[in-house]
Structure 1
Amino acid sequence: MEALERYVCEHTAPEEELLRELDRETHLRVVQPRMLSGHVQGRLLGMIVRMLRPRRVLEIGTFTGYSALAMAVGLEEGAVLHTTEVDDELEPLARSFFDRSPHGAKIRLHIGSALDIAPTLGGTFDLVFIDGDKREYPAYYRMLMGDDGRPPLVHAGSVLIADNILWSGKVVQPVAHNDRHTRALLDFNRTVVGDPRVENVILPLRDGLNIIRVK
C-alpha cells in the first residue's frame, strides 16, 4: 500500500512549495499532524474549486490552514473562503502561512465554533468543506441544510465535502457504546444517503470523502 500511495503522489501534480513547507511545520510543531489534508487531497480540493468556480466557500475546521490554502489557490478574484477553527492555539501558525501566500487575502479565518460562527456570516455558500469535530458532523449538516430552525447555508447546486468519513475503517467495525466520534459519523452518513434533497458519493481517498450535491 505504501508503494501505491507513493506512486499516486509521484503521478499527481506536484505540491506547491508553501504547502510543502506548511506540511513540514505541522509535523514538527502540532499534535496529530495526520489531521492535515496533504498533497493529493489538497490537489483534489483545488481542482474541485476550479471546476465549480464558487464565489463563497465555507470550511469547518481550519487546523493549520493547509486545505484552506489549497482551495484558495483555485479561487477566482473576488471570491472568498471563510474558515472556522475552534482551537485558538493553531491560529498563529495558520495566519503566518496565509499572510505569506499570494492567495491569503481570499481567506477569512474565524476562531470559535462553526455552529455559532457560520450562521452569522450572511448568505449561502457554494462549496463547504467539513473537517471539524467528528462528533458535531450531524449538527453541521442540520445547520447547513436549515434543519436546526435557522435559514439554510447552502442552495441548490451547492457542494458539501465531508472529510474522514470512513474513520480509519471504524464505520464497518463493532462500535463501542462510548465511541461518540464513530457513532456521529455513522449517523451523518445515514442521514446523507437517506436525504432526498441531496445526491452523494463516498470516495475512499485517504480517510474517506463524502461528496454531497444539493439538488
Structure 2
Amino acid sequence: MHFLPESLENYITLHSENEPAILRELTRETHLKVVQPRMITGHYQGRVLSMLSKLIQPSSILEIGTYTGYSAICLAEGLTNDGLLHTIDINEELSEMQRKFFDRSGFGDKIIQHTGDALKIIPELDQVFDLIFIDAEKKMYDAYFEAVIEKTRTGSIIITDNVLWSGKVVEPLDKKDMVTRNLLAYNKKLKNDPRVETVILSVRDGLTLCRVL
C-alpha cells in the first residue's frame, strides 16, 4: 500500500541518499531467488535505518528478523569501530546468502548471525544493546519487545517495522485477522508504556521509534 502518491514517493527516494551498489545487488538476488521478495527493506527505508544508526552511533545492535540481510547491512553502517551487530532469523536456508552479502559489504566481521527462536536466543546474549530493530513474526511483537527491553539501558532505541500494516490499523477490523489485532494492541501498548517514549514514522509500512527511559 502506498501512503503517499507514487510520484511523491519516487521524488523522496530520488532526493535521498543513493542506495549502495551492494544493496542494489542484494535486492536483485532476493527477487530472483527468495519467496516474498517484497519483504526486503528497500532503498528508502534502508537509508532511513542507516541514518538513524549513524546518528545513534551504537556499539551494539540487535536485529530480530534478518531475511536476506538488507536491513542488517544498513544498520551496521552506523556501528562504532569496535561495534557488533547480532541478527536473528528462524530460516536457516537464508544464512548462506546473508553471509555472502555481509562479507562483501565490508561489515562481515561486525555481523554475528543467529538461527533459531529469538525468544530463546535473546536471553543468552549477555550484553546491553544501544539499538534494536524488530522485524519478524508480527504476532510475536509484544513478546519480542518484552525480551529485548531487558537488554537495554536508558537512551537505547527500539525500532519496530510494519506497524501500520498496509493501513489495516485504521480500517474496520476483521475478527479473523489476528495479525492486525495484535499490531493494534502492540501500538497501543507502546503509546502507553511508561518505560519508553514513542513516535511512529510513516516510512514505508510504518516504523515505531521507542527511546528507553
For normalisation by structure 1, the TM-score amounts to 0.94
Amino acid at match of 2:130: D
Q: Distance in 1 between matches of 2:10 and 2:43?
A: 11
Deviation at 1:161, TM superposition (A): 0.4
Structure 2 partner of 1:211: 209
Q: Which residue of 1 aligns with 2:194?
A: 196
Q: Which residue of 2 aligns with 1:4?
A: 8
Question: 8 Å contact 2:69–2:101 — kept in the other structure?
Answer: yes
For 1:64-213, list aligned pairs within 5 A: 64-145=68-149, 152-213=150-211
CA positional deviation for 1:175 = 2.1
How many residue pairs end up in the alignment? 209
Tell me the amino acid that sits aligned with residue 63 of structure 2: E
Equivalent residue letter for 2:167: G
Gaps of 5+ in 1: 146-151
SS of the equivalent of 2:210 reads strand
User: Is the deviation greater in 174-183 or in 6-15?
Assistant: 174-183
Letter in 2 for 1:183: R
Query: Which of residues 5, 21, 31 in structure 1 aligns to 2:25?
Result: 21
Kept in 1: contact 2:60–2:79 (CA 8 A): no
Q: Distance in 2 between matches of 1:176 and 1:119?
A: 35
For the residues of structure 2 that align with 1:58 and 1:187, how far apart are their CA atoms?
Answer: 23
Moved segments of 4+, more than 4 Å: none
Q: Is residue 2:33 matched to residue 1:35?
A: no
In structure 2, what is the Cα distance between the partners aligned to 1:57 and 1:23?
22
Which segments of 5 or more consecutive residues in structure 2 lack a partner in the other structure? none
Higher alpha-carbon deviation: 205-214 or 40-49: 40-49
CA offset at residue 179 of structure 1?
A: 1.7
- For 1:211, the aligned partner's letter is L
Percent of residue pairs bearing the same amino acid type: 51
Shift in Å at residue 2 of structure 1?
1.6
Say what the alpha-carbon RMSD is for the aligned residues: 1.0
Matched-pair contact (CA < 8 Å) for 1:57–1:126? yes
CA distance in 2, matches of 1:186, 1:139: 14
